[in-house]
A and B are shown apart, each in its own frame.
Chain A
Amino acid sequence: MSGPALEVRGLAKAFVLHVQGGVRLSVLDGVSLAVQAGECVVLADPSGAGKSTLLRSIYGNYLVRDGQVLIRHRERVVDMVGAPPRLMLDVRRHTLGYVSQFLRVIPRVPTEQVVAGTLRARGVEAGEALGRARAMLERLRIPERLWALSPVTFS
């Protein structure tokens, strides 16, 4: 199947802060972007330009009402804007990852189980998920002695 893996068309995002007197902050307006499979795109702009807002809007972490976020998912194209939550969860589980500055995990859960958890959520059997998690941790050069510890202890 051809076409970009991700295409953003005319994306706008504004925040209305009801708690602070209804101030309206327009952060994104008319943003368009296409990313092909195998391509790595860098968003480079000064702080406050809306880079994180764009990423969060694509992921559905921020609610978007204007524009389209088209993602190739399970052999078809899905518009994340206005998609039912269940479909968005399926896209996140199988197609779209998100690496944030902050890691939010259940306390006391070992690192290898945190990593395996995303596979288990996809229905991968526990033993296989753990094996693949360990292989990935090794690849990222996280020392094996830390795998059984909670990641909150990490740098």
Chain B
Amino acid sequence: MTIEHPSATVADRPLLSVRGLGKRYGAQIGCRDVGFDLWPGEVLGVVGESGSGKTTVLDCLSGRVAADGGQVTYTKADGSVVDLRRLDEAARRRLLRTEWGVVHQHAREGLRMNVSAGANVGERLMALGARHYGRVRGRALDWLARVEIGESRIDDLPETFSGGMQQRLQIARNLVTEPRLVLMDEPTGGLDVSVQARLLDLLRGLVEDLGLSAVIVTHDLAVARLLAHRLLVMRGGLVVESGLTDQVLDDPQHPYAQLLVSSVLQP
């Protein structure tokens, strides 16, 4: 009998491959020696307390913060592989606009506050070449409805929205172009519980329908359980544990992971 550990059964190359990623802020370690592979259709959760380095990892991936060391390779839609740390600024921006979405923890950072909600959503479509005003507006309306923002608000400025609505608008703005990879920093933070459930369902549906891949930073283990296939547990800038989400949550190995899981009510 042959026993196999075939590492690849569907796609043969990860969408995103990270090795030895590190970032220091002076004497302070942001993150150190972070490595993982993200496969198409996979959602990776990054959990840990504040200051553990979760957001630093995400910022290094999006290029918002320049990493000090390591390698981040991405397989583009056309099949070519790029090293993100060696990409020039223009090429990186093009990639972010066409194949990636980035949802920031604070919605204001991901929105254009001086244009309407509809324009915020339509902008990315137009950046990809959509020109027909009616169609762009139609898609914008559709996405606003999917994140439960009423049609009557399409011409309002994000400034007039509540924090939770701004966050939903930011998500609509990012997902309207159906990106291949979405980076999300606490996407459900500060949302009403009812909207959070709707958003979780929406995200899971997109993963299933579009084969969307995502890296989601969250401190909420219940959100991680429902959305992520795999988890990284971070502490002090290091990944202290990784594995299947339910395994990490139900049988954590590292002392810190055990503490984290045992400290919350019903993850």
Binding site for B on A (CB under 8 A): 3, 15-19, 56, 60-63, 68, 70, 74, 76-79, 82-90, 104-109, 117, 120-121, 126
In chain B between 12 and 66, which residues have their CB closer than 8 angstroms to a CB of chain A?
39, 42
Stretch at the interface among B67-75, B126-134, B172-180, B240-248: B240-248
Residue among B9, B229, B258 having the largest count of chain A Cβ atoms under 10 Å: B9
**Contacting residues, chain A, for B247 (C-beta < 8 A):** 60-63
Asked if residues A78 and B5 are in contact (CB atoms below 8 Å), the reply is: yes
**Inter-subunit contact B243/A78 (CB<8 Å):** no
Smallest CB–CB gap between A133 and chain B, Å?
Answer: 13
> Does A19 lie within 8 Å of B258, measured CB to CB?
yes
Q: Select B6's contact among A56, A87, A107, A117, beta carbons within 8 Å.
A: A87
Q: B250 contacts the other chain (Cβ, under 8 Å)?
A: yes
Chain B residues within CB distance 8 Å of chain A? 1-10, 39, 42, 193-194, 197-198, 200-201, 204, 208-209, 225-226, 229-230, 243-244, 246-247, 250-251, 253-255, 258-259, 262
- Would you give 28 A-B contacts (Cβ < 8 Å), ordered by A? A18-B255, A19-B255, A60-B247, A61-B250, A61-B251, A63-B243, A63-B247, A63-B251, A63-B253, A76-B6, A78-B3, A78-B4, A79-B5, A86-B8, A86-B42, A88-B244, A89-B42, A89-B229, A89-B244, A90-B9, A104-B226, A105-B226, A107-B193, A108-B198, A109-B201, A117-B204, A117-B208, A120-B208
Contacts A68-B3, A84-B7, A107-B193 aside, 15 further interface pairs with beta carbons under 8 A come to A19-B258, A61-B247, A62-B247, A62-B251, A70-B3, A77-B4, A78-B6, A82-B5, A85-B244, A87-B5, A87-B9, A104-B225, A108-B194, A108-B201, A109-B197
Q: Which residues from B are CB-within-8-Å of A3?
A: 1
| 10 closest residue pairs by CB, A with B | A18-B255, A107-B197, A62-B251, A120-B208, A108-B197, A106-B200, A106-B201, A18-B258, A79-B3, A19-B258
Q: Are A17 and B201 in contact (CB under 8 A)?
A: no
Q: Which residues of A contact B4 (CB under 8 A)?
A: 76-78
**Chain A residues within 8 Å of B262, by CB:** 19
Total A-B Cβ pairs within 8 A = 89
A137 CB, nearest partner CB in chain B, Å: 19
What residues on B are CB-neighbors of A87 within 8 Å? Answer: 5-7, 9
Could you tell me the distance between the alpha carbons of A18 and B240 in the complex, rounded to whole angstroms? 14
Name the CB-closest residue of B to A109: B201
Within 8 Å CB of A82, what residues of B? 5
Choose one: A15, A90, A106; the contact of B197 (CB below 8 Å).
A106
Neighbouring B residues of A18 by C-beta, 8 Å: 254-255, 258-259
Structural contact, B246 and A61, CB atoms closer than 8 A: yes
Q: Which residues of A contact B259 (CB under 8 A)?
A: 18-19
Q: How far is the CA of A82 from the CA of B247 in the complex (A)?
A: 13
Measured between alpha carbons, how far is A89 from B226 in the docked complex, in Å? Answer: 15
When distances are taken between beta carbons in the complex, the residues of chain B under 8 Å from A77 are 1-4
Task: List B contacts of A16 (CB < 8 A).
Answer: 253
What are the residues of chain B within 8 A of A106 when measuring CB–CB?
Answer: 197, 200-201, 204, 226
Establish whether residues B7 and A126, one from each chain, have CB atoms under 8 Å apart when the complex forms.
Answer: no
- Give min CB distance, B168 to chain A, whole Å: 15
Q: What residue of chain A has the Cβ atom nearest to residue B14's Cβ?
A: A86
